[in-house]
Structure 1
Amino acid sequence: MESQYIHEQKRKSGKWETLKSVWKNEIYEFRKNELCKIIDSINPTVIFIDIFSSSDILVLHEKYKNTKLLFINPMLSTYRVDGFPTVEQGNWPGEVADTASRIQAEKISIKSLVYKPFDYCIRKAMERQFRQLISIGAFSVKYPVATDKTSALLFDNITEILLAPLELEISPKVRKPNQHYFGLCISSNRNDTELDPSFDQKFEQIIVKKNAGKRLIYCTFGTFYQGSDRALVEFLDKLLNAIKMLENVEVILSVNKFVIQTLKFQRNIPTNIHMFSRVPQLKVLRHSDLFVTHGGLGSIKESIHFGIPMLVYPLDLRYDQNGNGFKVEHHGLGLRGVFQHERSEDMKWKMQELLANPIYGNNIRQLQQKCSTNYSSDKLKDTLNQIVLN
């Protein structure tokens, strides 16, 4: 992140400046000053470090030897375990050629040194920098770099708390000794902000129809797309065509205002389809019969919390959405599809199946019960106390 750091410091940019920044460990010093100022003001007993900021542990471990440093993971397990798909994979190993196995790491050769000397030097400087950081206080001796990591930089023997139930993993065998699963971790009293001003009034009318026998389908893709992206508009156009073939349904579609404007310009929107820029998701899920989602773990956990079958269309295949969709289907909590290539007829069949077949709802309710039993507040408090005290 040196180039971004240099830009934010309003300094002259370029590869030479980036190389100097890496060599001088500028970001390390900046981050240390930033974090220590906060930590010294509150004197915490424990510090939770998001795994996507896991390098912060290299900044903190030497100075705060008496403070418990933990990793907190907002996804399912990000380690590679033989025989099981990794967090981002949507298939069993060997079913199809894995993307990771097709992409080989770039080899630094004499040619790259000649034609890209700064890139070569920056990479070597980063390797030197990393060796220096993990050697501080003999960190790498006690906490070696995890060789089975996938999506984030992780270290062996660091306690990790996962904000998810183990039962959602493809198998309990993927759990490592240093990992602790904390269940659904739903904030049921969450107050969503920046809601569509037309939502409350229209939602009351939708609930009247729901109580009269209509089934409610809720569809949203989070904040992945901020504008009227062509791929999203094309997908939603096919989804609306599929919904037209369904009977006795009401649909809440939550997408950004630019997509709403584009769809309304391109086609007539049926009266049973209600489009909003932002809705209170928990309130809508509480009354839904089907959730069409991109497969973010937060949305999946909330759907499980309310017992709603899911139809998952992963958008970002680099991280966990693809794997989450695979796990939803594997556990019989719903179905999944391919975002860019799904046909309206396939969407229709899947939505009909999920609305009509009680097995999906039964599976989710069983998982709900397991989460309620295995991750009660008392059990989680005891687990956390043990983690902090050990």
Structure 2
Amino acid sequence: MSTLLVCPLPERGHINPSLKLARALQKRGHRIVFCGIRDTEALIRAEGFDFECLFEHLFPLGFQDEVKERVSQWKGLKRVRYLLQVLRKQNQMYESMLQGELDAIITRTRPDLGLTDVLLPESFLVLRGHQVPTLVLNTSIPMRWELMTPPPTSDVIPDGQLSGVIRGALDWGRILFASKMEDWRSWVGLEPADLRYRHALARKYGYPPEHLDFAGRLSGEHDPMLVLCPREFVEFSGARLSIDVHYTGPCIDLERKEPDFPWERLSPERPLVLCSLGTMAMPPEQARRFHDAVTEAARRRPAWQFVVATNAWRETRPGPVPNNLVSVTRVPQLQMLRRASAMVTHGGFNSVKECIYFGVPMVVLPVQYDQPGVAARVVHHGLGQRADLRSLTPDTLVPLLDAVVEQPSYRRELERMKARFQAAEDEQALVDAIERHLPGTSASGAPGQHQAERGALAGS
């Protein structure tokens, strides 16, 4: 039996797909230890895994809920002051990492292999400094693809979807501009704090800083990366990654614990529309626009039923709620998608993958981060429609819902992608790909073996 240390970003969108990996490895007899802040402990332990706490003096229990509530509700100078306070905590976190906080956990747990989130290069650098072979988990679209490959042009995108391509081009341009700006700031000695600390960690633990990308993160060019999604969804026609990665199945943990729901309020005979903007805090005006549009859509389609996850949203809306709308804090999303006719989603990678897995067409309202890129792929593959949350109204939302619920073309395309997703969800192949990197194998992750690691993972 080997011990594996898993370090996901402390958000559900990053923890949930790592549970599938962890459970498959645990069934093979390995000991799985998750490492994270205290707010993630209950979720991890409820799923049956060991847990090690990081930065408890900085991020005590309840910290994440506090941040989400204050960022979404506070405005003006009060909000700016609080964000600066959070930024100081982040810098203290980097200092603590430099002083050896994760070293103590590694020494205590003695992992044989590390699995770290692509957005947490700090844990990767420390693990590699301890000579622990480590794989990078990418729970979204590989950033390297977005940097190296411009969005598809009209030869692979139908004319009706060109507006999505234009938005994608702007997203890609912003990423490229950010890259150049970071290079310039580094050259003149004005590195942002996170980049400065990551370079310091790289130097301390013997990792070449030039192997990190413009934000001080792992690019996948020099170390093995698992992309938790089939290739067919991620890569557009005629465009491929400039690096070798290993595409896995979608890593949807069908065994994860889900919240209760008043199922008696739903009728199995009526079309069901699931609506959620995910678990991250949204700008209040955008969340308000979303809930107003969904509420009015329920009024205009009384023969349907709508379920809305409010998540971090706490504002009470004026006026009566339609009888065909059920609002809860959190939904049992996997159970709900088994019977849903459509989903209105923010375009979080996990929600989109789960919709595909269960064959549910989407209306995607991307807000930030990877969501515009994910939405572009949904539209390109014919799996749903896209709208701008900043200008969303019932008049734009209802026709899009009518289209994805009633037009059979979306179901046909979803059936094709669903078949690929379900075929790729092979626990045996997933575990085999990871176990190849345990000590004693040909690609154990020792210094100087990066190319061997990449070769072992490439080509799927």
Of 198, 216, 234, the residue aligned with 1:169 is 234
Amino acid at match of 1:301: K
Amino acid at match of 1:182: T
- CA change 1:257–1:102 in 2 (3 A) is closer
Residues 1-390 of structure 1: pairs in structure 2 closer than 5 A: 8=58, 27=94, 30-31=97-98, 33-62=100-129, 64-65=130-131, 67-79=132-144, 80-84=147-151, 91=165, 95-96=169-170, 98-100=173-175, 105=181, 123=191, 133-135=201-203, 139-140=207-208, 144-147=210-213, 152-154=217-219, 156-171=221-236, 173-193=239-259, 195=260, 199-200=261-262, 203-206=263-266, 209-211=267-269, 214-225=270-281, 229-246=284-301, 248-256=303-311, 259=314, 262-263=316-317, 266-316=318-368, 319-388=369-438, 389=441, 390=443
After superposition, give the CA deviation of every residue in 1:312-369 in whole Å (9 maximum; x if it has no partner).
11122xx111111111111111111000102322211110000111121221221121
Amino acid at match of 1:186: I
Amino acid at match of 1:350: L
- CA change 1:38–1:133 in 2 (3 A) is closer
Instruction: State whether residues 255 and 275 of structure 1, in contact with CA within 8 Å, keep that contact through their aligned partners in structure 2.
Output: yes
d(CA) in 2 for partners of 1:342, 1:152: 34
Quote the offset at 1:285 in angstroms.
1.2
- CA change 1:73–1:93 in 2 (3 A) is same
Q: Which shows bigger deviation, 235-244 or 270-279?
A: 235-244
- CA change 1:333–1:68 in 2 (3 A) is same
Identical aligned pairs, as a percentage?
24
Residue ranges of structure 1 left out of the alignment (5+ in a row): 10-14, 110-119
Match of 2:229, SS state, is: coil
d(CA) in 2 for partners of 1:35, 1:69: 14
d(CA) in 1 for partners of 2:99, 2:280: 31
Q: Which shows bigger deviation, 33-42 or 68-77?
A: 33-42
Amino acid at match of 2:336: V
Runs of 4+ in 1 over 6 A off after TM superposition: 106-109, 124-129
Quote the offset at 1:30 in angstroms.
4.1
Instruction: State whether residues 361 and 411 of structure 2, in contact with CA within 8 Å, keep that contact through their aligned partners in structure 1.
Output: yes
Amino acid at match of 2:300: M
Instruction: State whether residues 140 and 370 of structure 2, in contact with CA within 8 Å, keep that contact through their aligned partners in structure 1.
Output: yes
Instruction: State whether residues 70 and 160 of structure 1, in contact with CA within 8 Å, keep that contact through their aligned partners in structure 2.
Output: yes
Residue ranges of structure 2 left out of the alignment (5+ in a row): 1-54, 60-83, 153-162, 444-460
After superposition, give the CA deviation of every residue in 1:162-195 in whole Å (9 maximum; x if it has no partner).
22222221427433544112221111121124x5
- CA change 1:302–1:95 in 2 (3 A) is closer
After superposition, give the CA deviation of every residue in 1:30-84 in whole Å (9 maximum; x if it has no partner).
456322222222222210121121133333323x22x211211121211122333
Q: Which shows bigger deviation, 157-166 or 291-300?
A: 157-166
After superposition, give the CA deviation of every residue in 1:104-138 in whole Å (9 maximum; x if it has no partner).
738679xxxxxxxxxx9874998876665444575
Amino acid at match of 1:236: H
Higher CA-based Rg: 1
Pairwise CA RMSD: 3.8
Instruction: State whether residues 90 and 323 of structure 1, in contact with CA within 8 Å, keep that contact through their aligned partners in structure 2.
Output: no
Instruction: State whether residues 127 and 133 of structure 2, in contact with CA within 8 Å, keep that contact through their aligned partners in structure 1.
Output: no
Match of 1:210, SS state, is: coil
Instruction: State whether residues 170 and 330 of structure 1, in contact with CA within 8 Å, keep that contact through their aligned partners in structure 2.
Output: no
d(CA) in 2 for partners of 1:292, 1:217: 7
Partner of 2:65: none
Instruction: State whether residues 216 and 290 of structure 1, in contact with CA within 8 Å, keep that contact through their aligned partners in structure 2.
Output: yes
- CA change 1:321–1:287 in 2 (3 A) is same
Normalised to the residue count of structure 2, the TM-score between the two structures is 0.64
Partner of 1:116: none
d(CA) in 2 for partners of 1:216, 1:26: 44
